[in-house]
A and B are shown apart, each in its own frame.
Chain A
Amino acid sequence: MSAILSADDLNDFISPGVACIKPVETLPPKDTKNQEDAYEVTTEDKVQPEDLPPAQISLTDCLACSGCVTSAEAVLISLQSHAEVLNTLDAHPEIPLTHEPHGVGVNNTEDSKEGKIFVASVSPQVRASLATTYGISEKEAGYMIDQLLSGPQGLRGGGKHGNGFTWVVDTNAMREAVLVLTADEVSDSLNSGESSAMSQSDDSLPKRPILSSACPGWICYAEKTHPFILPHLSRLKSPQALSGTFLKTVLSKSLGVHPSRIWHLAVMPCFDKKLEASREELTDMSWRQGDSSGSESQPVRDVDCVITARELLSLASSRGSSLRDLPLQPLHSSFNPPFPEKTLDSFLSLKRSRAEQSLATGTSGGYLHHVLMTFQARNPGSELVVNRGRNVDVVEYVLMSPEGQPILKAARYYGFRNIQNLVRKLKPARVSRLPGAKPAVRPAAGRRQPMSRNAVSTGSSGSDYAYVEVMACPGGCTNGGGQIRVEDARETLGPSQGESLDASMKPSPHEQRAWLARVDEAYFSMDSESESELETQSQLLSLADKEAKIHERLRSWSEYMNIPLSKLVYTTYRKVESDVGKDQTPANDTSRVVELAGKIGGGW
């Protein structure tokens, strides 16, 4: 394996996929003309504009994406950090708000036009992570975050302007809407004729099986490596994205400020949510009606910045505020103004009943669970049969009619390894993927049952599922890459826990598993210790009533904005070209191959 290369060796390596060509809207346009000759002498000022900030966050801990995260994505991610939050808070004063009897308004006399309105949305998994770290309840963790982002002892206690977040909402509110719309989407797809899943007449509906699309790691992977998956993806925005659209649309309209003056932070369990936030599909371009300013102005993201649970700790500590010392109580009403649009205020305050965040719903939002519950409710007497797959992250569900006929098949696939098997099942059949190679054709009669050691349903084609909930992380979103890890928690809590343990010691898989189990428990225990009247009330509502209520709210949102609902809640996906496997090595690029052989993984 000598480094003496022949001409043929030049094509032997796959050109490195480090340069991302994903057209992400925030990237400075790359000047390609300087790249033609690596040896061209460049002057300092010529180099400057394409000097991208170095990637700072390694995503190796995000199991989903370490295989496909590219340098440009790493840049994007480093641009959305806790430092970015602090910089933005310091760069812009808060738009002063007036508190009027009928709600909140912008105090135009004091508005300097420089100001922004700061809003945040927080995912329930983040609260579970904080709750586990500090040994508090999930509800208290919610107060902790509110106190940090909006309270006087939190971010407002420092910084140039003493800024904080005016509204902090729970992404669960919008998840509720996503769940209902997901069930609608699945039933529409099932009703769109008994024609085979492959030839559906209605282009606007996803192909069966519909695959959940809330996990950005999964979307990123599918767009880059498996474009044949894209027609299967649910068109619904994720709760993060929908929260963004909701906040930007309603706040900009009700307060009369441009969406670019509303700065929306999302606190998520997942690094890849940063990638989602940078999608050009998720900006005001997708929903703003053709008003005059629309065409010339820059697109404004629905979510401006995403930080993870772990970065929330950094955010607190870099402002010198200790999360532990924050009061675990609801914010005083002066820091918790009502939402400016009364009718939609109820949307955000909508709380989930405890039954809907349980072991059965899973750790990732309960999309599959909701679909199953909806169909079960519509088919009285039906029974749900659960088949555990080859590992804990694969579960298959069959809804059986009272006569024992399957009504609906659905599954949960979490984790990269299981996604591989799902994707392979959905891959369009080809006679031969290889020129000159003949597949071994076996008569169907000779086909034997799978002998997999503990798997179920390996024989099923996968396309007979109506819905599959797919998440890139094993264990789902509570185990997101941005969650506080057991070693972070040790460090955060310090020696006061009475453990003479070296915090740097890597926890064993069992400790990690135990930690994750505690996070799950906190997640499932949401709202369990204090049940307000409102919750009790909502628990009494039947599934159908709740559905109707949410449809009603969505309709009023659409009417208020005068924007069709489909423009607000749906999104699209696109194939991302990858250079892997393509012949991009220029013929004169011997030096690059030598460099490859020498540097990238030591060559051969």
Chain B
Amino acid sequence: MSPKVTITHLSDLTPPSQERTWLTAPHPTLPLVATCSSDKTIRVYSLTNFTLLSTITGGHKRSVRTAAWKPHMTGESVLATGSFDATVGIWRRWDSYGQEGDAGMGMSSGDKQIPTDISTAASNGTGTDTADREEDEEEWRFAVLLDGHDSEVKSVSWSASGMLLATCSRDKSIWIWEDLDDGDNNFETVAVMQEHGGDVKCVSWHPSEECLASGSYDDTIRLWREDLDDWGQVACIKGHGGTVWFLDWEGEETEGNWSGPVADSVSESALSALQAQWRSQRALSGPRLLSCSDDRTVRVWRRQPKESQQTGPLSSATTGIPSIIRPTGTDEVWEEDAVLPRAHELPVYAVAWSKRTGLVASTGADGRIALYEERFVTREQEQEQQADSDAMDTTSGDVLRTEWVLVGVQDGAHGIYEINHVAWAKRADRRPGGEEEVLVSTADDGSVKVWTLTR
């Protein structure tokens, strides 16, 4: 399959860090990104003109490894940063800081809030208090330092509502903090999970539910939910043959305008019928989970819908525990949905699943950026394949099948350097800004590059 998407370099973010950069987190609504650097700082760049807007310094004593923007903030931006100094910093900045009335940093007209059920978070309009503003001498106000981890913090993630922050570390633990949002920057430890057998490399929240996924040096992916009043593991996915470096969730249907996989050579009506069927199927299992690993693979995982989970080994008849206290079962069964076409020769450090287009990007130690697209396997293709391989796939009856296709590759995207992270962001350098997306890649040499895609 020949690549069908061309990845074109749009711009570097300048000036670059003089030291290794780890990750670049695009702001959920504003056209800016936060880049984590080994020089102990976080660099905030504009996606409008690709220049450095500010540098957050003084908070961390070692490499800043990770960062995440709190969602649903209006008027103020909140950034969580995780460092090798074992702490997590929370930083705040009024969106209007230093440029009253300037639209450059503010929300552009094309922007819209990500739809949400949670109405409480949106009412957080503290930014209008002028007394507060006069006191703020610094652009980035250091709000609080969360300590508790024993060793390097590797990843941080805000829950969909923004109320919970998950952090993970080489100390093998995952902490969940609640942002009390009490105006005093108080956070409470909600849970500490220690089931992972190794360094926890990444945490990522479900796009709408309070369900956390984590990937670790122990090669597993684990899923966590709150049960009664404590957090517990609901699934442990074994499948990767090496460290799970990064995770990302499939977007919810309401996000963006992506309506599902595509297919060649079918009519538009046939395609939308397929997509409708696909969506109803997905509604049962929920958003899928994307993972990448030291084993050079990128995989997609799907939750088995509850109704079809086998009740055998977990039923009350076999455990001897009275069935009254036997709940419906919190355990989830996750199965491998797909292994994406192999595109990397070295460990894959990051994956990103576009919420707007459904495209998946991956990158890693081989300095390559790869793009994948999910397509329907039409009945004709299926028959062809079966005839070719003479394989009788009994499951393929009325189950909709898709396949992932490698559609684009960019080799040596940062020269000889390893690429540590890749993310999707909304393109902001052209007006009027459409829904076009750019890729942002972050590398060992301190450079951050922005890429456009053309079909």
Q: Report if B255 contacts A (CB, 8 A).
A: no
A68–B86 CA distance with the chains assembled, in angstroms: 14
- Assess whether B325 is in contact with A508, with CB atoms less than 8 Å apart: no
Of all chain B residues, the one with the shortest Cβ separation from A438 is: B138
The contact string, 1 if C-beta is below 8 Å from chain A, for chain B 11-50, is 0000000011010000000000000001000000000000
Q: Tell me which residues from 1 to 43 in chain A have a Cβ below 8 Å from any Cβ of chain B.
A: 1-2, 6, 8-9, 11-14, 16-17
CB-CB under 8 A from B61, the residues of chain A are 581
Of all chain B residues, the one with the shortest Cβ separation from A1 is: B420
Task: Specify which of B58, B188, B314 lies most central, judged by the most chain A CB atoms within 10 Å of its CB.
Answer: B188
- Assess whether A2 is in contact with B180, with CB atoms less than 8 Å apart: no
Q: Tell me which residues from 550 to 603 in chain A have a Cβ below 8 Å from any Cβ of chain B.
A: 580-581, 600-602
CB-CB under 8 A from A63, the residues of chain B are 194
Chain B contact residues (Cβ within 8 angstroms of A): what range? 35 or more
- Assess whether B217 is in contact with A500, with CB atoms less than 8 Å apart: no
Q: Report if B148 contacts A (CB, 8 A).
A: yes
- Assess whether A17 is in contact with B444, with CB atoms less than 8 Å apart: no
CB contact under 8 A between A448 and B349, given known A421-B189, A601-B198:
no
The contact string, 1 if C-beta is below 8 Å from chain A, for chain B 172-205, is 1100001011111110111110100011010000
- Assess whether B182 is in contact with A11, with CB atoms less than 8 Å apart: no
- Assess whether B186 is in contact with A450, with CB atoms less than 8 Å apart: yes
- Assess whether A451 is in contact with B201, with CB atoms less than 8 Å apart: no
Q: Report if A455 contacts B (CB, 8 A).
A: yes
- Assess whether B444 is in contact with A1, with CB atoms less than 8 Å apart: yes
Q: Tell me which residues from 118 to 142 in chain A have a Cβ below 8 Å from any Cβ of chain B.
A: none
A67–B86 CA distance with the chains assembled, in angstroms: 13
- Assess whether B136 is in contact with A440, with CB atoms less than 8 Å apart: yes
Interface residue count on the A side (C-beta < 8 Å): 67
Of all chain B residues, the one with the shortest Cβ separation from A507 is: B319
Of all chain B residues, the one with the shortest Cβ separation from A421 is: B188
Q: Report if B62 contacts A (CB, 8 A).
A: yes
Chain A proximity of B197: nearest CB distance (Å): 8
Q: Tell me which residues from 241 to 275 in chain B have a Cβ below 8 Å from any Cβ of chain A.
A: 243
Which one of B225-233, B302-310, B401-409, B447-455 contacts A? Answer: B225-233
CB-CB under 8 A from A580, the residues of chain B are 86, 150-151
CB contact under 8 A between A447 and B184, given known A14-B152, A440-B141, A511-B321:
yes
The contact of B184 among A66, A432, A442, A455, by CB within 8 Å, is: A442
- Assess whether A601 is in contact with B170, with CB atoms less than 8 Å apart: yes
A433–B185 CA distance with the chains assembled, in angstroms: 14
CB contact under 8 A between A390 and B59, given known A67-B173, A438-B137, A440-B143:
no
- Assess whether B62 is in contact with A437, with CB atoms less than 8 Å apart: no
CB-CB under 8 A from B59, the residues of chain A are 434, 437
The contact string, 1 if C-beta is below 8 Å from chain A, for chain B 424-455, is 00000000000000000000100000000000
CB-CB under 8 A from A433, the residues of chain B are 145
A432–B58 CA distance with the chains assembled, in angstroms: 11
- Assess whether B229 is in contact with A602, with CB atoms less than 8 Å apart: no
A9–B178 CA distance with the chains assembled, in angstroms: 33
Chain B proximity of A502: nearest CB distance (Å): 8
CB-CB under 8 A from A440, the residues of chain B are 92, 136, 141-143, 185
A580–B149 CA distance with the chains assembled, in angstroms: 10
Q: Report if B131 contacts A (CB, 8 A).
A: yes
Of all chain A residues, the one with the shortest Cβ separation from B346 is: A2
- Assess whether A420 is in contact with B217, with CB atoms less than 8 Å apart: no
- Assess whether A450 is in contact with B180, with CB atoms less than 8 Å apart: yes
A514–B319 CA distance with the chains assembled, in angstroms: 11
List the 4 closest pairs (A to B, CB-CB), nearest first.
Answer: A601-B199, A436-B58, A437-B142, A420-B189
Residues of A within 8 A of B (CB): 1-2, 6, 8-9, 11-14, 16-17, 60, 63, 66-68, 390-392, 416-418, 420-421, 424, 432-443, 446-453, 455, 458-459, 474, 497, 499-501, 505, 507-511, 513-514, 580-581, 600-602, 604
Identify 16 new A-B residue pairs, CB closer than 8 A, beyond the known A442-B184, A580-B151. Answer: A2-B418, A12-B38, A14-B62, A14-B152, A416-B192, A420-B188, A424-B188, A437-B58, A438-B137, A440-B143, A446-B132, A447-B183, A450-B182, A450-B186, A474-B230, A514-B322
14 A-B pairs with CB atoms under 8 Å apart are A9-B38, A66-B194, A67-B150, A433-B145, A447-B183, A452-B188, A499-B319, A505-B313, A508-B314, A510-B326, A511-B321, A580-B150, A602-B294, A604-B154
